[in-house]
């Protein structure tokens, strides 16, 4: 392996392998090798009615092995002339063909990955009939379980008993259930899983994915099948050079075992992108072995759930490190819940028990609204009204503690108005309109714990506009070992051995105040060539038990540190 702390992998689609001679493939290997070191390649046997014949694939395998690559197989279960190329998995001919492809690929390789087109959106007459009175999600989840177990895995294992089958999950995790991706059952069937970390351009693409997804999703997948998340997969479609590199950063920060750069022909045809990630890997490999396992605020993403779509990714972009769980994190001291949690029919008693155990539970206005009538009002009574307010003015208030006066956001933000009973609950931060205030963060006691409600803007990206003082108050209520005082779009990644990483997603240099919750602490850069300065703040607040530093981050860059006491 070329790197000490991860495997660098790429993927070769079937069309690329079929269309190029062995001589051309050799030239491509040599060209890519000038810019980046690659350890492993997945060689695809089938995609969209294109099959690489055995003789050609054997020659391709031999070529890559000769050049020092580990080789595995890949399958993309698509056909031509359907929406997104999705197969109809109720069609007996498709099932037979897919079983044959799985067996053929397993004969050639001891490890096979299914690309993330392994889903169905078919609504043909036969699928409608098979669905019956069930909803599409229920039907497709059951269907894809059957295909996984009885078509893909059964035929592959029959052809090669030692084959390791990997399922790759795409970046659209809120919609898995709608297209049959069964995150609850499939990982138990497959030998390993893989995560899509491609977030691309967050501004102008139709998905508009927050960059934090490149970290969040592989951490969720790791919780689903501990120790068996094979890696993170990203690409350069619709990416600026900065977008591409940041995907690589966050895939590494998530401690993925493999970093997959899709795909070989793109690496050949985009040398600046390839070289940039090559430099990133060389740099990161110098310190990645010094950081521990990722930790953060426990959050809950139930299987097959959706509510406030991608909200966790937006929260992560606020400098709040998250640790996702597919089951309720009952032992966590701090829990953060979005409307996704409403899919759990037992969520109210679970929240109550956390509070009675002395935990802090943060819920969103969207979740509170979904839980009205299910018992949330017996914990804390308030009303998420239909009235909307739009403002750019905020304040923090706690009897002069954390009061920051009137502060301006980076733009207008539209929020629902939350009505509450004064002196029963306490408002920590408010949005202001002329002669009126509107709770942004509100707290109430329950047993020995505290329940917080965070009002979420109508447009989730408007969270980025919140003032630094408002975000700092929220971060401080989370009792993190490291708290940032900064604007949004600065990421914080915490690890269990007193190390942390800061990542700027900003287009400008930024001073970030880093507060360590230990007196007399120091922060030591893990990378000698790290760009940026560290110095104590100009004005100390003299908070007992805290050490405060200013870190200057360059646009789009990261800085890694170890805390020493």
Does residue 2 fall inside a structural domain?
A: no
Look at residue 387 and tell me whether its pLDDT is greater than 80: yes
Averaged pLDDT, 37-51: 97
Q: What string of H, E and C letters represents the secondary structure of 428-452?
A: EEEEEECCEEEEEEEEEEECCEEEE
| Choice between 206 and 267, residue whose per-residue pLDDT is larger | 267
User: Is 1 inside a domain boundary?
Assistant: no
Chain position carrying tokens 């010094």:
290
pLDDT-derived band of residue 252, with 50, 70 and 90 as boundaries? Answer: very high
Instruction: For residue 113, list its beta bridge partners.
Output: 74, 166
Same domain assignment for residues 87 and 213: yes
In the predicted structure, residue 59 carries a pLDDT above the cut 50? yes
pLDDT band at 538 (very low <50, low <70, confident <90, very high): low
Residue 32 falls inside a structural domain: yes
pLDDT confidence of residue 147: 98
Asked whether residue 86 falls in the same domain as residue 198, the answer is yes
* Mean pLDDT of the residues in the chain: 95
Q: Which among 220, 155, 152 has a CA at the least distance from the CA of 183? A: 220
Give the model's confidence band at 431: pLDDT under 50 very low, under 70 low, under 90 confident, else very high.
Answer: very high
CB 513 within 8 A of CB 549: yes
Overall domain count for the chain: 3
Rounded to an integer, the average pLDDT of 507-523 is 94
Residues 440 and 551 in one domain: no
Quickly state the pLDDT bin for 153 (edges 50, 70, 90).
very high
The pLDDT of residue 397 is above 50: yes
Task: Over range 397-418, report the average pLDDT.
Answer: 81
Predicted local distance difference test score (pLDDT) of residue 102: 98
Query: In what helix (H) or strand (E) does residue 231 lie, and over which residues does it extend?
Result: strand 229-235
Residue 462 has what pLDDT?
98
Residues 321 and 448 in one domain: yes
Q: Is the pLDDT of residue 399 over 50?
A: no
Q: Where are the beta strands (DSSP E) in 447-541?
A: 449-454, 482-485, 490-495, 499-504, 510-516, 522-525, 534-535
- Are 524 and 406 contained in the same domain? no
Pair (80, 60) in one structural domain:
yes
pLDDT higher than 80, residue 81 = no
Asked if residue 182 and residue 36 are part of one domain, the reply reads yes
* Spatial distance between the Cα atoms of 422 and 416, rounded to a whole number of angstroms: 18
Which of 184, 176, 182, 220 is CA-nearest to residue 324? 220
End residue of a domain, out of 262, 285, 308: 285
Q: What is the pLDDT of residues 476-485, one digit of tens each?
A: 999 999 999 9
What CATH number is associated with residue 527?
A: 2.60.40
SS3 19: helix
For 234, phi and psi rounded to 5 degrees? -135, 165
Asked if residue 410 and residue 304 are part of one domain, the reply reads: yes
pLDDT for residue 403 is more than 70: no
Give the CATH number, domain containing residue 330. 3.40.50.880
Contacts of 128 (CB under 8 A, 6+ apart): none
Is the peptide bond prior to 209 cis by the omega test (within 30 degrees of 0)?
A: no
Would the pLDDT of 149 be above 60?
Answer: yes
What is the per-residue pLDDT for 532? 60
Is pLDDT of 516 > 70?
yes
pLDDT band at 534 (very low <50, low <70, confident <90, very high): confident
The yes-or-no verdict on residue 156 having pLDDT over 60 is yes
Are 321 and 280 contained in the same domain?
no
One domain, residues 431 and 506: no
Residue where a domain terminates, one of 215, 250, 285: 285
**Residues 269-308 pLDDT 10s:** 999 999 999 999 999 999 999 999 999 999 999 999 999 9
pLDDT, residue 373, reads 97
Residue 544 has pLDDT above 90, yes or no: no
Give the domain range for residue 336: 295-477
| 138 has a pLDDT exceeding 50 | yes
């Amino acid at each position: 392996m070329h790197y000490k702390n991860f495997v660098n992998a790429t993927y070769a689609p079937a069309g690329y392998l079929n269309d190029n001679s062995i001589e051309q493939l050799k030239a491509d290997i040599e060209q890519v090798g000038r810019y980046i070191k690659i350890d492993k390649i997945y060689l695809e046997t089938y995609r969209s009615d294109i099959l690489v014949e055995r003789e050609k694939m054997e020659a391709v395998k031999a070529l890559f092995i000769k050049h020092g690559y580990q080789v595995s197989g890949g399958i993309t279960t698509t056909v031509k002339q359907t929406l997104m190329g999705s197969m109809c998995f109720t069609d007996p001919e498709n099932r037979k063909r897919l079983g044959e492809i799985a067996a053929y690929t397993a004969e050639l390789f001891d490890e096979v990955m299914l690309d993330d087109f392994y889903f169905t959106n078919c609504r043909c007459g036969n699928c409608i009939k098979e669905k019956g009175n069930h909803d599409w999600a229920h039907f497709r989840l059951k269907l894809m379980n059957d295909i996984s177990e009885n078509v893909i895995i059964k035929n592959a294992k029959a052809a090669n008993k030692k084959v390791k089958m990997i399922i790759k999950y795409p970046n659209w995790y809120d919609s898995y259930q709608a297209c049959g991706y069964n995150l609850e059952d499939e990982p138990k069937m497959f030998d390993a899983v893989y995560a899509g970390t491609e977030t691309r351009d967050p501004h102008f693409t139709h998905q508009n994915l927050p960059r934090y997804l490149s970290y969040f999703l592989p951490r969720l997948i790791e919780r689903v099948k501990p120790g068996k998340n094979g890696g993170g997969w990203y690409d350069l479609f619709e990416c600026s050079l900065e977008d591409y590199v940041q995907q690589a950063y966050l895939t590494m920060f998530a401690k993925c075992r493999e970093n997959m750069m899709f795909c070989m022909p793109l690496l050949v045809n985009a040398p600046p992108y390839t070289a940039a990630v090559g430099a990133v890997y060389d740099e990161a490999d110098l310190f990645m072995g010094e950081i521990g396992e990722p930790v953060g605020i426990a959050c809950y993403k139930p299987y097959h759930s959706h509510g406030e779509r991608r909200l966790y990714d937006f929260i992560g972009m606020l400098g709040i490190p998250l640790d996702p769980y597919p089951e309720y994190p009952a032992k966590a001291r701090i829990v953060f819940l979005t409307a996704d949690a409403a899919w759990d029919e037992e969520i109210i008693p679970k929240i109550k028990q956390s509070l009675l155990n002395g935990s802090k539970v943060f819920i969103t206005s969207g979740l509170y609204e979904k839980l009205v009538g299910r018992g949330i009002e017996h914990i804390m009574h308030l009303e998420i009204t239909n009235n909307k307010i739009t403002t750019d003015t905020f304040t923090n208030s706690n009897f002069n503690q954390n009061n920051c006066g009137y502060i301006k956001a980076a733009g207008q933000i539209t929020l629902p108005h939350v009505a509450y009973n004064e002196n029963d609950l306490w408002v920590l931060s408010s949005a202001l309109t002329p002669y009126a205030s509107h709770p942004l963060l509100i707290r109430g006691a329950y047993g020995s714990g505290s329940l917080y409600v965070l009002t979420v803007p109508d447009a989730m990206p408007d969270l980025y506009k919140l003032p630094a003082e408002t975000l700092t108050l929220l971060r401080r209520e989370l009792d993190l070992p490291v708290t940032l005082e900064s604007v949004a779009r600065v990421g914080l990644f915490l690890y269990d051995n007193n190390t942390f990483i800061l990542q700027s997603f900003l287009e400008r240099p930024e001073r970030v105040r880093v507060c360590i919750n230990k007196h007399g602490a120091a922060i030591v850069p893990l990378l000698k060539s790290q760009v940026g300065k560290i110095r104590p703040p100009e004005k100390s607040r003299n908070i007992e038990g805290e050490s405060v530093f200013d870190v200057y981050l360059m646009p789009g860059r990261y800085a890694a540190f170890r805390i020493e006491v």
